[in-house]
Amino acid sequence: MNLYRISAALLLTAMISSNSNAQKKEKGFVPLFDGKTTTGWHTYGRNLAGQGWKVEDGTLHLDPAAKKEDAGDLVTDKEYGNFHLKIDWKVAPNSNSGILFHIKEDPAKYHQTYSTGPEMQVIDNDGHPDGKIIKHRAGDLYDLVKSTSEPVKPVGEWNTAEIISNKGKLEFILNGVKIVSTTQFDANWKALIAGSKFASWEGFGTFTSGKISLQDHENEVWFRNILIKEL
């Protein structure tokens, strides 16, 4: 075998190994978004996804020009309890959004996703007024826990977020950096809620399973590469 063939063989082996490692890394994860349709999602309290959510170039794009009644928060058709969620997001200048979880979809009792679901904040820290508030910045457990650092990328660039909820242990990861670690449903969790804007909200943060949501804050935002592993 000549040198060219040896090099080609080594390259092929490396590629196979790399692909195998990538598949192993993502083992157990399934897509929540097929990149082509809103299958598996609907607007909170409705049967279908609002038209303000557009599928473009493999992304879910919230078009702020759409009327409010044509958008609304997207929620998964399925409920999740213990899970590891991976999702990419980016925002336009001055935009605000969020990724919520453990949502009880009962619009007669709970009018919005955030009535029950804790949130990982998605925001332009510098451009949106909420970004000036402690515990309201990108990656924070909204109004409950401030992130330990801010590895968020500049506006218009993609961020990779992860939410891990497993038997009460909750972790947020942003661009590979763990930024929030807390425990749900214990005395400290109840104290966090009692010290927040949600203190008087019946049902907030109490459900151990529920829908996952992408928030419509009437600002432009994109999501892609949405994967989940049930734990």
Query: What confidence category does residue 13 fall into, taking pLDDT thresholds of 50, 70 and 90?
Result: very low
Query: What pLDDT score does 19 carry?
Result: 42
Place of tokens 């592993």: 229
- Among 92, 94, 112, CA closest to 103: 112
Q: What does the domain layout of the chain look like in residue ranges? A: 1-28, 32-230
What sign results for the dihedral spanned by CA atoms 119, 125, 131, 133? positive
SS3 31: strand
Contacts of 59 (CB under 8 A, 6+ apart): 35, 222, 223, 224
Residue-wise pLDDT for 95-154, tens only, equals 999 999 999 999 999 999 999 999 999 999 999 999 999 999 999 999 999 999 999 999
What is residue 154's DSSP assignment? Answer: P
For the entire predicted model, the pTM comes to 0.88
E strands, 82-144, where?
A: 83-91, 96-103, 119-123
Q: Which CATH superfamily is domain 32-230 in?
A: Exo-inulinase; domain 1 (2.60.120.560)
- Cα–Cα–Cα angle for 145, 203, 141, rounded to 5 degrees: 15
The dihedrals phi and psi of 8, each to the nearest 5 degrees, come to -65, -40
pLDDT band of 15, cuts 50, 70, 90 = very low
